[in-house]
Amino acid sequence: MDKRINLPISDEDIKGLKAGDSVLLSGSFITGRDAAHKRLYELLEKGEPLPVDIEGELIYYVGPAPAKPGYAVGPAGPTSSYRMDKYAPALLDRGLKGMIGKGARSQPVIDAIVRNGAVYLVAIGGAAALIAKSIRSEELLCYEDLGTEAVRRYVVKDFPCIVAIDCEGNNVYETEPKKYCTE
């Protein structure tokens, strides 16, 4: 059974999530990919303010295709998360509560998730058109020059994802393959 979470996500919500749980998110979160993460990270390194408040936010690693008539965005599948691994710990330490992407994460990211009581969710790669149906609206927040990689706010209803790494560091990329080993 899917767990339903109304955003913004709370610490209590995060503590109730376990690796492998199916989740439906409703509310809003921000988006951003490699180029935006690099810029945010560089500002943090300089001790400068960020152009967007990441405190308590989830960020979805996405660069959607153009929208068809009647849709807020085009196909909006997740980007490979490892591309943000260099930047994620600093953003989590600054108050980011979680990330949505696809694929495994590095140990420094897992450590930052545990240290900050955060969560890593995965959206299903290859389901970009289905995911787009859950996105009700989008708003440009910063870095317009980055095009689809700009930081935006998505309002979503029943956005489907799976808990890949919970706040205790339990990780489906480690536990699930072991279930299928025949040795």
pLDDT in tens, 88-98: 999 999 999 99
How would you write the chain as a 3-class SS string? CCEEEECCCCHHHHHCCCCCCEEEEEEEEEECCHHHHHHHHHHHHHCCCCCCCCCCCEEECECCCCCCCCCCCCCCCECEHHHHCCCHHHHHHCCCCEEEEECCCCHHHHHHHHHHCCEEEECCCCCHHHHHCCEEEEEEEECHHHHHHCEEEEEEEEEEEEEEECCCCCEHHHHHHHCCCCC
Residue 103 pLDDT exceeds 70: yes
Q: How many CA atoms lie within 13 A of 118 on its CB side?
A: 28
The pLDDT score that the predictor gives to residue 177 is 72
User: Which of 151, 172, 148 is CA-nearest to residue 87?
Assistant: 151
For the chain, report the end-to-end CA distance as a whole number of angstroms: 31
Where in the chain are the domains? Answer: 3-178
The pLDDT score that the predictor gives to residue 67 is 85
The pLDDT score that the predictor gives to residue 183 is 64
pTM: predicted TM-score of the whole model, two decimal places:
0.94
Give pLDDT tens digits for 18-42: 999 999 999 999 999 999 999 999 9
Class at the top of the CATH hierarchy for domain 3-178 = alpha beta
- Length of the chain in terms of residues written: 183
User: Which of 103, 145, 95 is CA-nearest to residue 121?
Assistant: 103
Specify the higher pLDDT residue, 24 or 176: 24
